[in-house]
Amino acid sequence: MTSATWTHAWDRADGERRARDLFTGTFGAAPDGVWSAPGRVNLIGEHTDYNDGLALPIALPHRTYAAVARRTDGLVRLVSAQEPSGVREVPLAEAVPGAVRGWAAYVVGVAWALRAAGHDVGGFDVAIDSCVPFGAGLSSSAALEASVAVALDALHGLGLAGGVDDAGAATDDAGRGVLATLCVRAENEMAGAPTGGMDQAASLRARAGNALLLDCRDGSVRHVPFDLAAHGLALLVVDTRAEHSHVDGEYAQRRAACEAAARRLGVASLREVADDARGDGWALEALTADEDGVLLARRVRHVTSEIGRVTAFVEALDAGDVRAVAPLMDASHASLRDDYEVSCDELDVAVDAARAAGALGARMTGGGFGGSAIALVGVDEVEAVAEGVARAFAARGLRSPAFAVAVAGPPAG
Ligand code: GAF
């Protein structure tokens, strides 16, 4: 009997029923339909997206469900099972950056971004329910945005989202790329979180059974088969329950540091440094010539080395040598902890304890400053590693973590 707490994904029919029931109970009529979108874990490629770099997320089986009905009066009424504040009302005409606070900004922001891009989107009622843990670094915000985006796409016949086939693949990746960009606008401009585009791409463009190799320079993607079970392995997610947020200053500071470094180096983005045939030594040397460039050099070293690790990770998957990704995960964590300084005690404890309990490799995932870690473990070791992590947290007096096993699920639909 395990003492570890597990966060299980809802069955799709159950999630849809929950959102539908909340809608009917709140608004007194049936919705036009229910749409859903997944959270994500990023396998590797952290803080690379806003540097035109590479990232490798998978969509989680944990999803956010949105029951939605069109309105004709330009009003948005919102309710969420995760928000005790009751029904919120926002006239779309008043929905401008800065005017809408809290979780509603992510929902209304998607409608605002679609309208700003020239799409004829009107008011709607929406009821949200979700099994994507909130504030756990598993992209609950992107799941919320993407679920609303595909709902509005369908209800207004925008023709961008296409469908999802029986194999869990989106039928119109280009249209989804457009929707992902608009969801990023919603998050950046309406919600005020200066994030990159990885999370929205994962939620809208991932494919079941595959990792999504995302090239953030041109938005192109490649689906890389990712079936750990076939190799006797599993991906354990540790939600440290140290809540994180990207609306606060640290994330923005890291992004600003990268932009400052790129300016000093005279490159359009740090991707150019990562791709430089000479390596990144010249850039680190140039930056450390000034004392105030020493910190920038460490930030740059994380980004360039992390982009290299994404390439090596994909090469290992392509070669069927899945165990070879474990040291890359360890190196990624060390780089994020020491050079990029976005880890925290809880994440370090989770990673160290997972390894001590038998994980082959482990790292923080997502933006950091709290949130979740992932560990590559043998299928028979999942419980033991979770127990080991739970014990380490208890021994340090930390809040009990929650666990999940991640398999690559289908995208929003
Ligand atoms: C967060 C952001 F939303 C992403 O855009 C990405 O930068 C990530 O942190 C770090 O890789 O999830």
Q: Which amino acid is at 102?
A: G
pLDDT at 248: 67
Residue-range domain boundaries for the chain: 7-225, 231-406
Cβ atoms of residues 397 and 247 within 8 Å? no
Joined together, the tokens standing for residue 56 give 């490798």
Choose the catalytic residue: 125, 199, 239, 280. 199
Q: Is 39 near ligand 1, meaning CB less than 6 Å away?
A: no
Cβ atoms of residues 203 and 59 within 8 Å? yes
Q: Architecture of domain 7-225 in CATH?
A: 2-Layer Sandwich (3.30)
pLDDT at 1: 39
Alpha helices in 266-293 (DSSP H): 270-275, 281-288
Cβ atoms of residues 239 and 404 within 8 Å? yes
Per-residue pLDDT tens listing for the chain (413 residues): 357 899 999 999 999 999 999 999 999 999 999 999 999 999 999 999 999 999 999 999 999 999 999 999 999 999 999 998 899 999 999 999 999 999 999 999 999 999 999 999 999 999 999 999 999 999 999 999 999 999 999 999 999 999 999 999 999 999 999 999 999 999 999 999 999 999 999 999 999 999 999 999 999 999 999 999 999 999 999 999 998 766 569 999 999 999 999 999 999 999 999 999 999 999 999 999 999 899 999 999 999 999 999 999 999 999 999 999 999 999 999 999 999 999 999 999 999 999 999 999 999 999 999 999 999 999 999 999 999 999 999 999 999 999 999 999 999 99
Q: Is 363 near ligand 1, meaning CB less than 6 Å away?
A: no
pLDDT at 243: 81
SS3 for 118-148 is: CCCCCCEEEEEEECCCCCCCCCHHHHHHHHH
Gyration radius (Cα) of the chain, Å:
21
Active site residue 153: no
Residue 253's alpha-carbon distances to 14, 135, 161, in angstroms, are 40, 19, 33
Measure 199 CA to ligand 1 centroid, in angstroms.
Answer: 7
- In order, the DSSP letters of 215-260 are ETTTTEEEEEE--GGGGTEEEEEEE------SSSHHHHHHHHHHHH
CATH T-level topology, domain 231-406: Alpha-Beta Plaits (3.30.70)
